[in-house]
A and B are shown apart, each in its own frame.
Chain A
Amino acid sequence: MNTSNVTMALWITPIVIQSTIVLVMLHRKLVKVFPVFFFYSVLIPAREILLLLVRNHRALYFRTYWFTEAIVVVLSLGVIYEVVWHLIRPYSFLRRIALRFFWIVAAVALALGLILFLSSSWSGQWDSHFEIIILVERSVRFLQACWLIVLVLLMSRLGLTWQYYAVGIATGFGVFSASALVLLELRAHLQLITNETLALLNSTAYNVAVAIWALYFVPSRPRRVMIESLPNTEIARWNEVLSEYLKK
């Protein structure tokens, strides 16, 4: 299998899988639950099909790619915010403070991203516009990664409930953000990989993320069971942990 075949396979596979996710979301009426993620899942295959059609027109391809990439990156931030909102919404007492906290984190991460951007020196030997775009994307991916870190930490430290699909979305974005951040760093800052390698590895990372989303969205979930009885609170049994320690 030569490189162009691999590239084509990596290009077409997520289109097929993400279209399946869209259909499953429509079938399970998840569009209202995760509207931004749904829109994201519709936009990406549509963009990829468009890019496939114009792949031989270099200038048009370049413009289409970077214009839609900007929308995709902003939309992916929107998806993370949607997951945060979805998870925090049941806790009315927590909503305002948690969302404010997320905006503060966003401001700090954005400032850090800006510092990362300004501190990077670009060579000027190759397409400097392209280099600037990559550095900006790295800063935005950094913000995305920070949001995901804060989300997972907040949920685990406060003991809040993760919901099935939210775990899938966060995991997929977590893996893709981490990979994208590493690749952009290797290309734009350290300049250790070529543009072709960046495109290939980025595409592979996106395939992994799509596969994770498919694992969570496509298989049918076990049917919810009606709980017939609740456990009694056995006071005597509950005491055993500390009592055992006190006896020692």
Chain B
Amino acid sequence: MIATIIVACTVAVLLILVWQLTRTSTAGADPLQVWEVRGRQVNVDAFRLLVDPSEAAYLCKSTPRVEFRRLQRLRTALALRCVRTMAGNAALLMRVATLARQADHTEIVNAADRLMFLSFRVRMNALVAEAYLLLKWVFPVWGIIVPMPLERYERLLQTCDWILARYQHTPAQNRIVG
């Protein structure tokens, strides 16, 4: 019976994932166009305030307990949305970097490698931060510090801007084929 349950669960999970893969796969889409449509920057300073423990402490002192919990959950939900947007942007920039690596310019290729590595690290950090934020949403009073190295995300955007700026000045024959 246990074997049947394990097999049934495995098959169900596999079929759901395969269904999602074929539905959501944007493998054929041009990441630059996707970036134009879906790419959003997060207000990093606002995010810092949302996860700042001293802000939470001030809020705790100045508001009633119930109201503090409600506000803290709202702040956490917003921070979670920010982290998910950052993770989405990092995933998109990973695809941009994959394309940029096909360019002829060594400088652009090197920058694309950096972009890819940074995107991956931001993505990993976002996964951890998401878990922390979910915990924080469940226990709003808990003074847990969210580990999200924002300077890494900022460096990621800078690298992307650098590639885009360099790319605009490269001759047409060197441009990336998507």
Contacts and interface: CB of A to CB of B under 8 A. Distances in A.
A2 interface: no
A241 B87 CA distance: 15
Contacts of A159: 87-88, 90-92, 94, 119, 123
Contacts of B8: 182, 185
Contact of A235 (B41, B81, B92): B41
Contacts of B157: 233
Most chain A beta carbons < 10 A, residue from B14, B27, B113, B117? B14
Interface string B1-33: 011101110110111011011100101101110
Interface stretch (A8-16, A126-134, A146-154, A196-204): A146-154
Contacts, number: 160
A120 to B, nearest CB: 6
Given A145-B11, A149-B13, A171 B22 contact: yes
A242 interface: yes
Interface stretch (B53-61, B63-71, B138-146, B159-167): B159-167
Contacts of A93: 117, 120
User: Range of interface residues on chain A?
Assistant: 35 or more
A227 B176 contact: yes
B67 to A, nearest CB: 16
Contact of B164 (A167, A174, A232): A232
A190 B32 contact: no
B177 A116 contact: no
B168 interface: yes
A230 B27 CA distance: 19
Given A227-B178, A238-B41, A245-B81, A153 B28 contact: no
Nearest to A119: B3
Interface stretch (A40-48, A52-60, A218-226): A218-226
A160 B161 CA distance: 21
B9 to A, nearest CB: 10
A120 B41 CA distance: 54
The B interface is mostly helix, strand or loop, or mixed, namely helix
B89 to A, nearest CB: 9
B177 A178 contact: no
A170 B175 CA distance: 31
B14 A242 contact: no
Interface residues of B, number: 63
Contacts of A221: 28
B101 interface: yes
A116 B3 contact: yes
A84 B88 CA distance: 22
A171 B21 contact: yes
A226 B175 contact: yes
B22 to A, nearest CB: 6
Nearest to B122: A159
Contacts of A243: 43, 46
A157 interface: yes
B90 to A, nearest CB: 6
Contacts of B153: none
A242 B27 contact: no
Contacts of A158: 91, 120, 123-124
A139 to B, nearest CB: 10
A148 B168 contact: no
24 contacts: A92-B113, A94-B120, A116-B3, A152-B20, A158-B91, A159-B92, A159-B119, A166-B27, A167-B21, A167-B22, A171-B21, A177-B14, A182-B11, A185-B7, A221-B28, A224-B177, A231-B35, A231-B36, A233-B157, A235-B41, A238-B39, A239-B43, A241-B81, A242-B46
Interface of A: 90-94, 112, 116, 119-120, 138, 142, 145-146, 148-149, 152-153, 156-164, 166-167, 170-171, 174-175, 177-178, 181-182, 185, 189-190, 221-222, 224-233, 235, 238-243, 245-246
